[in-house]
Amino acid sequence: MKTLIVCASRYGATMEIGRWIADRLPWKETEVVSVTEDPDPSGFELVFLGGGVYNEKVGKPIVQYAQKRLEALAGKYLAAFAVCLDTKGVYMKGRFFGGWLYLQPLLDALCDHPPLYAGVLSGEIIPKKLTEKDYNLLMHFYTRILKRDITEVPYRTLMDKRQVWDFTEKVLHRLEGHF
């Protein structure tokens, strides 16, 4: 089944996960493409849309891509995924944060064309790769919001190929008509 995996990735985690999804698909006709290349989804039967999460939302570039390409995406099998640290989410002061909520902007953009399946997958932070702005935003988050006593953004990887393959297997299952 001709498959396109479109990834909005600022630091590479979503792109790597896109390649892991491609590894698990049991056919070879799969392309993993950055959203910056604005790939044309016509001619593909299955399209994965994935993006890294920034400030409580899946990144804007993948949402804008879905909006722009909505007509071409209609009628295709779709799957959506977000890549982040807080995959489970948390309840705090009368509100839910994180987890599934991160995907909402992408689902909203796809409106009448809901994906077959969606997933919230674990990413990573490699501090030396971050722009100064992102580094400072994260320091602010850790020290002011989480009140952590740290002087540097910590290295953290939760990248998990088994989790990505489980997600991909669910998509395959749904394609076969199972729930």
State yes or no: residue 55 binds ligand FMN (CB under 6 A): yes
Please identify which residue in 4, 78, 84, 103 interacts with ligand FMN, judged by CB under 6 A.
84
Residues numbered 118 to 177 that lie near ligand FMN (CB under 6 A) are: 123-125, 130, 134, 137-138
Annotate each residue in 86-125 with x if it binds ligand FMN (CB under 6 A) or - if it does not, as one string: x-----------x------------------------xxx
Provide the 8-state DSSP code for 75: T
Please identify which residue in 9, 69, 101, 172 interacts with ligand FMN, judged by CB under 6 A.
9
Q: How far is it, in rounded angstroms, from Cα 132 to Cα 155?
A: 15
Retrieve residue 151's tokens.
Answer: 């002087």
In this structure, are residues 14 and 83 in contact, taking their beta carbons and an 8 Å threshold?
yes
Amino acid at 73: L
Provide the 8-state DSSP code for 127: G
Sequence length of the chain is 179
Q: Which is nearer to ligand FMN, 33 or 138 (CB)?
A: 138
Q: Which is nearer to ligand FMN, 120 or 171 (CB)?
A: 120
Return the closest-CA partner of residue 80 out of 172, 167, 160, 176: 167
Residues in contact with ligand FMN by the rule CB under 6 A: 9-14, 52-56, 83-86, 98, 123-125, 130, 134, 137-138
